Structure 1
Amino acid sequence: MVPGRLVTLRPMEPSDAEALWRWNHDPEVMRWMDDGYAQPLAQVRKRMEERPRNAYGDVLRGIEVREDGRLIGLVRLRDAEPETGCAELDIYLGEKEYWGRGYATDAMRTMCRYGFEKMRLHKISLTVVTENEAAHHVYRKVGFVEEGGCVRSSGATAGGTTCSPWASWRANSATEPRPPRLDAPGRR
């Protein structure tokens, strides 16, 4: 469990399969995602049951509201390499009533803090669809800076989706308010 201000990041469990399935079948939630084909609930359950434990190269956490313990999304650091100290970040909130209320920002800050402090990463990168302004706002707030653009083909459209890779370095956090350390006194 990794506590944040509004959320706690916890390992995903097989019992989370129904929420994940529901989110992945909601067109509004999946609007900016390259989700391939929706899977039946039984297949999602099986995948969650067979998912390997979190390891350095792939850390998947559920985003849980601290106030009531409700699972509202997920965040993942993947493709982490100790030789380079780099990882890719994925995040989404599946419970729409929590959009725009600071939960994604807190989850991002908490997972980045975990990556930099516990995993000893030097750089966390992510890719975002250019038109997804809400995501851009969250990433800027957390301290991510835009590196450049790319064009990537998407199964959802014939022409492709334009996206911009973003990256964050520990040095960039000096210009943003630093979140509390994981081991700070008074943290749960």
Structure 2
Amino acid sequence: MLTGNKVTLTPAEIKDKEAVYQWCFHSETTKYHSGPPSYPNAPIATEAEFFEDYQEYYFTGAQPQDGRGFLILHAGEPIGFISYSSFHLKDGIAELDIWLNREAHCGKGFGT
């Protein structure tokens, strides 16, 4: 667990997979990164597609060299998800993905 001024990051677990999928592809914030009209070339992923990309090790920590996911907590409540992946990049370089579960959490500095 890592605690900052506004949020705490806690390792995501298998039980969090469904919520994380819903936050990404079936929430108020989905329109900011997927699906028409703004992102016609980035369709809404099915659960199967999402879990193909976000394999179990993101939720178990079994392959930290490949990637890991964390819940973003504010005041003890989960408000989003952040993950890193590094298996497809150069050694020592990671890609970060982050999304929040509601528009009310956007613009408050929780992502930064």
TM-score normalized by the length of structure 1: 0.43
Deviation, structure 1 residue 11: 1.0
Identity %: 28
**SS state at 1:101 partner:** coil
Give the match for residue 110 of structure 2.
103
Q: 1:35 to 1:93 in 2, by over 3 A?
A: farther
Q: Return the alpha-carbon distance in structure 1 between the equivalents of residues 99 and 43 of structure 2.
A: 12
Q: Return the alpha-carbon distance in structure 1 between the equivalents of residues 43 and 78 of structure 2.
A: 20
Deviation, structure 1 residue 102: 1.2
Higher Cα Rg, which structure: 1
Amino acid of the residue matched to residue 51 of structure 1?
E
**Deviations along 1:49-108, whole A, 9 cap, x unmatched?**
x7122212202111111x2x1111111110158x73111111111122111111111xxx
Matches within 5 A, 1:1-188: 1-23=1-23, 24-26=25-27, 28-31=28-31, 32-33=33-34, 34=42, 36-39=44-47, 51-52=56-57, 53-54=60-61, 55-65=64-74, 67=75, 69-79=76-86, 84-105=91-112
Q: 1:102 to 1:16 in 2, by over 3 A?
A: same
Q: 1:57 to 1:14 in 2, by over 3 A?
A: closer
Paired residues of 1:64 and 1:72 also in contact (CA < 8 A): yes
Q: Which has the higher contact order (CA 8 A, sep 6+)?
A: 2
- Any unmatched runs of 5+ in structure 1? 106-188
- Any unmatched runs of 5+ in structure 2? 35-41
TM-score normalized by the length of structure 2: 0.67
Paired residues of 1:25 and 1:38 also in contact (CA < 8 A): no
Q: 1:51 to 1:5 in 2, by over 3 A?
A: same
Paired residues of 1:62 and 1:71 also in contact (CA < 8 A): yes
Q: Return the alpha-carbon distance in structure 2 between the equivalents of residues 75 and 93 of structure 1.
A: 9
Q: Return the alpha-carbon distance in structure 2 between the equivalents of residues 94 and 76 of structure 1.
A: 14
Aligned residues: 96
Deviation, structure 1 residue 29: 1.4
Q: Return the alpha-carbon distance in structure 1 between the equivalents of residues 77 and 43 of structure 2.
A: 24
